[in-house]
Structure 1
Amino acid sequence: MDQDEILFNCVKNNNQQALEQLFQKYYFNLCLFSKQYVESPDLAEEVVADMFLKIWQNRKTLHIKTSLKAYLFVSTKNLSINVVNKEKANTLKLQTTKETNNFSHLSTDQGLHYNEVKNQIDKIIEELPQQRKIIFKLNRIDGLKYKEIADKLGISVSTVQKQMLEAMKHVAQYESQFITCVLPFCFCFLDV
């Protein structure tokens, strides 16, 4: 059993330090690899951070049949391609939809449900420690890249990455509750 397998087994047993060791070991090369697809260093950093978050979230059920290194690179490639495709779809949607961010067409019930979901999300975010909450909002709500956040707050990109990883772990605790709440709301937009 090589060192990567040992570390991954520790991750499966809830060892966050083992995940951080893998993160430190592969982060730079995975970012360079992702950048070939997403063409933005900041976006590549987010892809890699999200990929490690997914590993953490799925650690109990994740079975890797190749080497861990190969798995990390394939996962990074797949997430990078998904990000590119999502950006293309978003651009297309913006071009074809005139009423972006306009919820005036919602029925009263849908509007109330939207507000309820938004309030629940706001409560989850408010539970975060102050700096983590600021970083999370700057990234996920304001759309700033990790480097932009680091520059704005006068902290390192590595601190932003660690805080985002912790914030996403916190938000993931509410995943099942959130999905059951959001799905009915999402279905009302399928025709848009």
Structure 2
Amino acid sequence: MDRQEDAVLFQKIKLGDEKSFELLFRRYYGHLCLYAVRFTQNNPEAEEIVQDLFAKIWEKKEQLTISTSVKNYLFRSVKNHCLNFLQHSQIKNQYSQKVCSEANDLKESEDTNYIEIDMLRKIEESIQALPEKRRKIFRLSRQEGLKYREIAEKLDISIKTVETQMGLAIKTLREKLKDFLPAF
């Protein structure tokens, strides 16, 4: 496939042609996944990154402008998404280590255990006090680890609704748990 054919395909995609989108997806998906694995060292994550890229392309097809070749754009985008993923993973790992370290420090003191139990009870009560939909969104995000996009699909709501409800849930929980914030 040459650069000009890709450009024609992309122009059709901008007009909403699903067959052209599917053709572009099938043409590059495997190659992009292999490329992404070089960065992530993780097949499922690589596939998710490529799938997310294609989803974003479809969602923003009307606004998207590609000044280089479509192939270069796809590979550069996958590289950028992978680098963002790696950076995010590193931050998550650092945060997890910090939380584990702090949790170990907390377990050293018997008094802390009582505070922790009280805090967990208060957290659960505060979560239970949230409106049903907000509580469900919060639990899917924080307890099941779903991404906002996955929650939106699962509950058949917009990502913006998920973001708004999560923001309200966190704000409410902060207010109700303000006495415990120094313990965090």
TM-score by length of 2: 0.64
Contact persistence 2:137–2:166 (CA under 8 A): no
Counterpart secondary structure, 1:97: helix
Matched residues in 2 for 1:31 and 1:180: separation?
32
Q: Distance in 2 between matches of 1:71 and 1:63?
A: 10
Cα gap change, 1:62 to 1:43, in 2 (>3 Å):
same
Q: Which structure 2 residues correspond to residues 172-183 of structure 1 after superposition, within 5 A? A: 174-183=158-167
The offset of 1:16, in angstroms, is 2.2
Q: Which has the higher contact order (CA 8 A, sep 6+)?
A: 1
1:44-55 equivalences in 2 (<5 Å): 44-55=46-57
TM-score normalised by L of structure 1: 0.61
Going from structure 1 to structure 2, the CA distance change for 1:4 and 1:113 (only over 3 Å counts) comes to farther
| Paired residue type of 2:160 | S
CA offset at residue 111 of structure 1? 5.1
* Structure 1 residue matching 2:129: 3-state secondary structure: helix
Q: Which runs of 5+ in 2 are unaligned?
A: 104-118, 175-180
Paired residue for 2:133? Answer: 116
Residue aligning to 1:184: 168
Find the counterpart in structure 2 of residue 27 from structure 1. Answer: 29
* Greater Cα radius of gyration, structure 1 or 2: 2
Distance (Å, rounded) in 1 between the aligned partners of 2:65 and 2:138: 31
Give the secondary-structure state (helix, strand or coil) at the position aligned to 2:63: coil
Report the identity percentage.
23
- Distance in 2 between residues matched to 1:169 and 1:66, nearest whole Å: 33
CA 1:110/1:169 → structure 2, altered by over 3 Å: closer, same or farther?
closer
Looking at secondary structure, tell me which structure has more helix per residue: 2
| Structure 1, unaligned runs of 5 or more | 126-140, 144-166
Q: Which deviations, in whole Å up to 9, do the C-alpha atoms of 1:81-111 show, x marking residues without a partner?
A: 1111122122112111146xx9655496665
Distance in 2 (alpha carbons) for counterparts of 1:29 and 1:115: 43
